[in-house]
């Protein structure tokens, strides 16, 4: 493992221990050693990423930003591998650890947008918001409407899918309901019948409520 990767791994451990409300240096050192086979907490201090006051380990400003970035990439990768590629938990954990070090900012934001700016990883832990999330929120609040609000004859472009049900998200994506796809509404009762590209689909109203579109 390269030195930079070790720094990122150690910072992610400090972040995770803070989430668990464990800030003692002994616990942090033990986890770092367990994962990296060496204790580099003092290196994090020397590089200005953390401070150790008494036994309390705290992220500095630069450390907070760097740890946030690596945690965000890791958890987005976990969501991608679980929701889209359907990897099992063990394979997902291993592959996400590899992904998190190679994702560029552009790819990271593309994945986040593809997944509808998710707020939790498959483990139920928070995914730190990125710039794309705030831009999307500002943009979407004014224009995004649930697909269920469109009337027969109206159309829109899919912006994101807001669901915590991973199988449902995967099913919709496999049917071609993806960000950027234009949909046309044919009927809204008893089910919502739409055309997405060349495919006609019938959706339950509750599912249509979770698909947000920009009317066109």
- pLDDT value of residue 119: 84
Answer with the residue of higher pLDDT: 142 or 192. 192
- On the question of pLDDT at 188 being above 70, the answer is yes
Residue matched to tokens 């204790």: 39
Contact 83, 170 (CB under 8 A): yes
CA nearest to 69, candidates 92, 103, 98: 103
Q: Tens digit of pLDDT for each residue in 159-183? A: 778 776 677 777 888 888 888 899 9
- On the question of pLDDT at 121 being above 90, the answer is no
Give the C-alpha separation, 53 to 56, whole Å: 5
Element (H, E) at 216: none
- pLDDT value of residue 140: 60
- On the question of pLDDT at 15 being above 90, the answer is yes
Q: What is the signed CA dihedral for 82, 85, 91, 96, rounded to 10 degrees?
A: -70
Q: What is the DSSP letter of 136?
A: H
CA-to-CA separations, 143 to 17, 135, 150, 158, in angstroms, rounded: 39, 13, 13, 11
Q: Sorting pLDDT into bands at 50, 70 and 90, what band is 123?
A: confident
- pLDDT value of residue 138: 66
Element (H, E) at 155: strand 155-161
- pLDDT value of residue 202: 92
In this prediction, what percent of the chain has a pLDDT beyond 70?
94
pLDDT-wise least confident of 42-46, 114-118, 129-133, 137-141: 137-141
Highest mean pLDDT among 59-73, 75-89, 107-121, 162-176: 59-73
- pLDDT value of residue 85: 72
Contacts of 58 (CB under 8 A, 6+ apart): 23, 50, 51, 52
In this prediction, what percent of the chain has a pLDDT beyond 90?
35
- On the question of pLDDT at 154 being above 70, the answer is yes
Q: Compute the average pLDDT of residues 82-91.
A: 72
Q: Tens digit of pLDDT for each residue in 30-64? A: 999 998 889 899 999 999 999 998 888 999 999 99
């Amino acid at each position: 493992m390269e030195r930079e990767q070790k720094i990122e791994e150690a910072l992610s451990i400090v972040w995770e221990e803070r989430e668990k409300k464990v800030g003692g240096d002994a616990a942090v050192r033990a986890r770092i050693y367990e994962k990296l086979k060496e204790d580099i907490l003092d290196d994090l201090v020397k590089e200005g990423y953390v401070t150790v006051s008494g036994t309390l380990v705290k992220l500095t400003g630069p450390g907070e930003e760097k740890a946030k970035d690596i945690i965000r990439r890791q958890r987005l990768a976990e969501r991608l591998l679980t929701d889209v590629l359907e990897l099992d938990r063990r394979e997902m954990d291993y592959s996400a650890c590899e992904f998190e070090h190679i994702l560029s900012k552009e790819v990271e934001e593309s994945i986040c947008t593809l997944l509808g700016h998710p707020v939790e990883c498959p483990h139920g832990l928070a995914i730190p918001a990125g710039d794309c999330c705030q831009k999307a929120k500002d943009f979407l609040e004014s224009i995004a409407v649930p697909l269920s609000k469109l009337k027969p004859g109206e159309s829109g472009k899919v912006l994101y899918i807001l669901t915590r049900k991973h199988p449902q998200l995967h099913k919709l994506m496999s049917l071609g309901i993806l960000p950027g796809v234009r949909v046309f509404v044919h009927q809204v009762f008893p089910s919502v019948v739409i055309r997405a590209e060349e495919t006609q689909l019938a959706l339950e109203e509750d599912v249509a409520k979770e698909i947000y579109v920009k009317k066109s």
